[in-house]
Structure 1
Amino acid sequence: MQNLKGKVAYITGGSKGIGYGVAEKLIATGMKVAISGRTLKKVETAAQYLGDSENVLALQSDVSKLNSEKEAIQKILDIWGQVDVVLANAGVGHFAPVYEMSEEQWHQMIDTNLSGVFHTLKASVQALKKSKGYYITLASLAGTNFFASGAGYNATKFGVVGFTQAAMLDLRKYDVKVSTIMPGSVATHFNNNEPSEKDAWKIQPEDIGELVLDLLKMHPRTLPSKIEVRPTRPDKK
Structure 2
Amino acid sequence: MERFTNRTVLITGGTSGMGLATARRLLDEGAYVVITGRDEARLRRAAAELDAGPRLLTVRADAADLADLDRLMRRVETWRGGLDAVFANAGTGVFKLSSELTEADFDQASDVNFKGVYFTVQKALPLLKEGGAIVLNASWTIHRGLPVASVYSATKAAVHNLARTLGSELAPRGIRVNSVSPGYIDTEMYRGANPDPEADRRNAAEVPLGSIGHAAEVAAAVAFLASDDASYVTGQDLVVDGGLVGSVPHR
Structure 1 length-normalised TM: 0.90
1:117, distance to aligned residue in structure 2 (A): 0.7
State the one-letter code of the partner of 2:122.
K
Mapping 1:1-237, distance limit 5 Å: 3-128=3-128, 130-191=129-190, 192=192, 201-215=211-225, 216-218=227-229, 220-223=231-234, 225-232=236-243
How much does 1:146 deviate?
A: 2.1
Contact in 2 for aligned 1:183/1:230 (Cα 8 Å)? yes
Superposition deviation, residue 143 in structure 1: 1.7
- Asked whether the 8 Å contact 1:143–1:159 carries over to 2, the reply is no
Equivalent residues of 2:14, 2:23 under 8 A apart: yes
For 1:50 and 1:224, locate their aligned partners in 2 and report how far apart those are by CA, in whole Å.
31
- Report the CA distance between 1:161 and its aligned residue: 1.1
* Aligned residue identity for 1:170: E
Distance 1:13 1:63 in 2: 8
Letter in 2 for 1:213: A
Q: Deviations over 1:192-211 (max 9, x none)?
A: 157x9978921211111111
Q: Distance in 2 between matches of 1:213 and 1:93?
A: 24
Contact 1:201 1:235 in 2 (8 A): no
Percent of matched pairs sharing the same residue: 24
| Partner SS state of residue 167, structure 2 | helix
The alpha-carbon deviation at position 116 of structure 1 amounts to 0.8
Q: CA deviation at 1:222?
A: 4.1
Aligned residue type for 1:214: F
Q: 1:224, 1:178 → 2: CA distance?
A: 6
Query: 1:99 aligns to what SS in structure 2?
Result: helix
1:5-30 Cα shifts (integer Å, max 9, x gaps): 01001101100000001111000011
Question: What is the RMSD of the two structures over their aligned residues, measured on CA atoms?
Answer: 2.4
1: CA distance, partners of 2:131 / 2:71: 21
| Counterparts of 2:46 and 2:39, CA distance in 1 | 11
Aligned-pair CA distance for 1:43: 1.1
Which amino acid counterpart does residue 242 of structure 2 have in structure 1?
Answer: P
> For 1:125-178, what per-residue CA distance to the aligned partner results, in whole angstroms no more than 9, with x for missing partners?
1111x3431111000011222221211111111111112211111111110111
Contact 1:83-1:131 at 8 Å conserved across structures: no
In 1, Cα distance between equivalents of 2:84 and 2:38: 23
What letter matches 1:167 in structure 2?
L
Greater mean deviation of Cα atoms: 137-146 or 27-36: 137-146
Per-residue deviation, residues 51-96 of structure 1 (Å, max 9, x unmatched) = 2330111111111112211211210110112211100101111111
Q: How many residues were matched structurally?
A: 234
Structure-2 change in CA distance of 1:101 and 1:219 (3 Å): closer
State the secondary structure of the residue aligned to 1:58. strand
- The amino acid that maps onto 2:241 is R
Structure 1: gaps spanning 5 or more residues: none
Q: Which runs of 4+ in 1 moved over 4 A?
A: 196-200, 232-236
